[in-house]
Amino acid sequence: MLGKVFKAYDVRGKVPKPLNEKIAWKIGHGTADFLLEEALVTGRTDPMSRTIVIGRDARDSSPGLSQALCKGMRDRGAAVIDIGLVDTPMVNFAVNYLDCGGGVQVTASHNPVGYNGFKFSRAKGRPIGSGSGLESIRDRSAVADPARVDSVEAFFETRDLWEPYAERILERLAQDVPEGLTAVRGRPLRVVVDASNGAGGEMVSRLFKGVEGLELIELNFDHTIGFKHDPNPLVESNLDELREVVRAERADAGVCFDGDADRCVVVDENGRTIGGDLLTAWLAESILGGEPEGKAVVYDLRSSRIVSERIEALGARPIPCRVGHVFMKDSLAGSHAVFGGELSGHFYYRDMFNADSGSRAFVSVLAGLAS
């Protein structure tokens, strides 16, 4: 059963078969076993090294899976901090902000209704995938047996981290647009956001409502009613409503997030989709700012030549990378690049711990529109 849900970069499967709360307990136990051992190997003995952050998306099955995952972790002796219904990038932020031993987000990302899964990270939010620990978690999970475990009642806490998360993201907005969003156009930006009835609605509401110079037009923000369309913005038909509203409202742009808001797709004022490679080149401009010399940008090697040519024209160094968040994150960390982008709508930032972040990408979109 475990072999069916462990993929190259995460756990993913239909609920309740093959993924259910019994399997979630085993995976929680295996994940804690892996992360606790890794902490010891790296020489960490502080309490936070034995603490794991858990977040979850808005799917109906996420609370139950999260609770079972948490119990498995605590039964293995790991402390758990539950940060609730959040976007996946917020879990990565929390692992770094709290200096925890690792984190897990309960999510099936862009998969349709009926699916769920887990995304894993280790200390500093560094990725866990095939070849970097995921097989070990799978093998440890396979032998975990609740009948042979004496619960140690490890520490558990729920914590609200929206305030520090918002502070970090809005600091980046002030940094990228120091003159403010209305300086160039002389009016507020009108942006339609389709949250795909997922975690993006909570994230945008918490972080961007009330931002001066921004007029948000909300689509599919209610995460309690199920998906109006599949939460995959790469499928063109899932953008139909967004396109219509952008044109009808005469908005400056539209943004669609996937189910856990770690990726986004942008349409222009005419409702035309901006490809991931062109978006990488455009967003790079606001990240590089007026001092591109010596900076690097990582880009999806499947991109058109315009990406590398534009990065070079801006005065920065383009670095091609194979597809996959593990490779992109490692490439950013290894090259000290400031930004990276994939055709899939994942955008990576050094100032977000070399991870992909839909909230940070939204800041870049606003910066591009305001310039």
For residue 304, the SS3 value is: coil
pLDDT in tens, 330-355: 999 999 999 999 999 999 999 999 99
Contact 173, 366 (CB under 8 A): yes
| pLDDT at residue 72, as a whole number | 97
Indicate whether this model's pTM tops 0.85: yes
How far apart CA 51 and CA 53 sit, in angstroms, is 7
How far apart CA 31 and CA 37 sit, in angstroms, is 10
| pLDDT at residue 326, as a whole number | 87
Closest CA to 196 of 166, 219, 216: 219
pLDDT in tens, 267-312: 999 999 999 999 999 999 989 987 888 899 999 999 999 999 999 9
Q: What is the pLDDT along the chain (371 residues), one digit of tens a residue?
A: 688 999 988 999 999 999 999 999 999 999 999 999 999 999 999 999 999 999 999 999 999 999 999 999 999 999 999 999 999 999 999 999 999 999 999 999 999 999 999 999 999 999 999 999 999 999 999 999 998 887 677 899 999 999 999 999 999 999 999 999 998 899 999 999 999 999 999 999 999 999 999 999 999 999 999 999 999 999 999 999 999 999 999 999 999 999 999 999 999 999 999 999 999 999 999 899 878 888 999 999 999 999 999 999 999 999 999 998 889 999 999 999 999 999 999 999 999 999 999 999 999 999 999 98
Annotated active-site residue in 49, 109, 121, 141? 109
How far apart CA 354 and CA 183 sit, in angstroms, is 30
| pLDDT at residue 1, as a whole number | 67
Contact 214, 181 (CB under 8 A): yes
Q: Is 62 a catalytic residue?
A: no
Phi, psi of 271 (to 5 degrees): 85, 10
Walk me through the domains of the chain, giving residue ranges and CATH numbers. 2-160 (3.40.120.10), 164-370 (3.40.120.10)
- Sign of torsion, CA 331 336 337 341? positive
Contact 286, 176 (CB under 8 A): yes
* Maximum CA extent, the chain: 66
For the chain, the first-to-last Cα distance in angstroms comes to 51
